[in-house]
Amino acid sequence: MKKILNQKVMGIIALALVCVFAGTVIGASEPAANAEEKVVLTSPFTEAIAKVRDSVVGVNNYQIVNNNYGGYGGYDYFPWNYFGFGNGYGNGYGNGYGRNQPESSEEIKYGSGSGVVIAKDYVLTNYHVVEAAHSLKISIGDDEENLFDATVAASDENKDVAVLHVPGLPLEPVEIGDSDELVIGDWVVNIGNPIGFTGTATAGIVSGLNREIASDNSAVDKYGRSSKVVNSMIQTDAAINSGNSGGGMFNTAGQLVGIPTLKYTGSRYSSNATVESIGMCIPINEAKDVIEEALSGKGEEQQPSADSETPDASRNDLKGKPRMGVSVSTSDGQGGAYPKGVYVIEVEKDSPADKGGIKEGDIIVEVNGTVVSSVSEEVEIVSQLKEGDEVAVKVFRPEKVTDAASGRISTDGEYIDLTVTLAMLDAVNQ
């Protein structure tokens, strides 16, 4: 009897403890239930994405193609596929070589990427998204019927940046941020149209800054010298896929801080390598000069004027005229290894050229602001001047000159601005 009583007492005590614990939990939850504001768990990206998502558009590149172009039956044949530019074109660079060609010449959508509205009627994107386009059209969301015509207002191929003018585009511009303020570990969001999924947002962090990425293309300057293009980029693990190119990288305040441009794949390094979550974005500060050019109207395309023929000046025409005091020949640039211009074989001692800082092995590329690509062009300019005139001369100076007379100079070098004061000299040299 006593044992049964004890069991009942213990049961009552246990029930009381449960009620106490339950009462404690219920009591603790009552303030939240009665509070005017509910606690809502959200990500740090929700507000930023809602703020800017509608301002990210599709950029569609239309080109004229025909059945003689040389399609490869839908295979991504070309070897540059290893460098996965995410632009949705069917291969690394987005030029549509991998697609089947139509049977007759016609304009087709060759590829599509993304863009961001950065001002009223203006969209920022990648140059490679709009490259070689016969026409450009902007799409909003999933609406493929109502397209807006676009033209390139300003671009920089080396930076891989383009700004498009899109009259009547009914979208609000995003706020442009400062990419110099980014630090490794900052949260970022990429928004674009990967493989046709419009307005897709991916999140991650800034994984690295100032990554020097060399393009597979060479840039040729206005003097004809080619060089490898190296851009400083933001590395992120926020996913970038085919179609993201030209879209936006945003910080958690919804400010545009970068342009998603490319992703790495394993085949660049070895057939067995696996590369994940390494994407590159152009810092927005690198695009600001192109944006300013477009918005100021300075980037409007103009028809190039035809070059007039330059008279072939004879060296004997220099008698009795002021000159610089150099022996020269024409530099053809050797296929871009050097700039085209006037190659300096010899510099007379104490001549205007010598006093002005011109050296043997230099290549004169500009005279008084005019680009010169031959001796005759340089002579024509100088022959119009008089003794005592100051001449602004830009030269390419190689890092190493082994033998100027035989043209043995290094391909590495820099452009230097000099000033030469013309004088009367007895010799017939320039």
The count of residues in the chain is 430
CA 300 from chain centre, in angstroms, equals 19
| 403/408 Cα distance (integer angstroms) | 5
Which position among 55, 114, 179, 245 bears the catalytic label?
245
List C-alpha distances in Å: 225 to 218, 352, 412: 10, 27, 11
| 143/318 Cα distance (integer angstroms) | 69
Is 134 an active-site residue? no
Is 165 an active-site residue? no
Would you say 342 and 375 are in contact if contact means Cβ atoms under 8 Å apart?
A: yes
What does the buried/exposed string (b/e) look like for 184-208 if buried means 16 or more CB atoms within 10 Å of the residue's CB? Answer: eebbbbbbbbbeeebbbbbbbebbe
| 154/294 Cα distance (integer angstroms) | 5
Q: What one-character DSSP code corresponds to residue 372? A: -
Q: What is the DSSP string of 292-320?
A: HHHHHTTT---PPPPPPPPP---GGGGTT
Residue 117: is it exposed, middle or buried by C-beta count within 10 angstroms (0-12/13-18/19+)? Answer: buried
Which position among 112, 114, 155, 160 bears the catalytic label?
160
Is 216 an active-site residue? no
Bridge-partner residues for 316, per DSSP? none
| 52/192 Cα distance (integer angstroms) | 11
Which position among 112, 114, 128, 374 bears the catalytic label?
128
Q: Which residues contact 264 (CB under 8 A, 6 or more apart)?
A: 83, 84, 275, 278, 279, 280
**What is the set of active-site residues?**
128, 160, 245
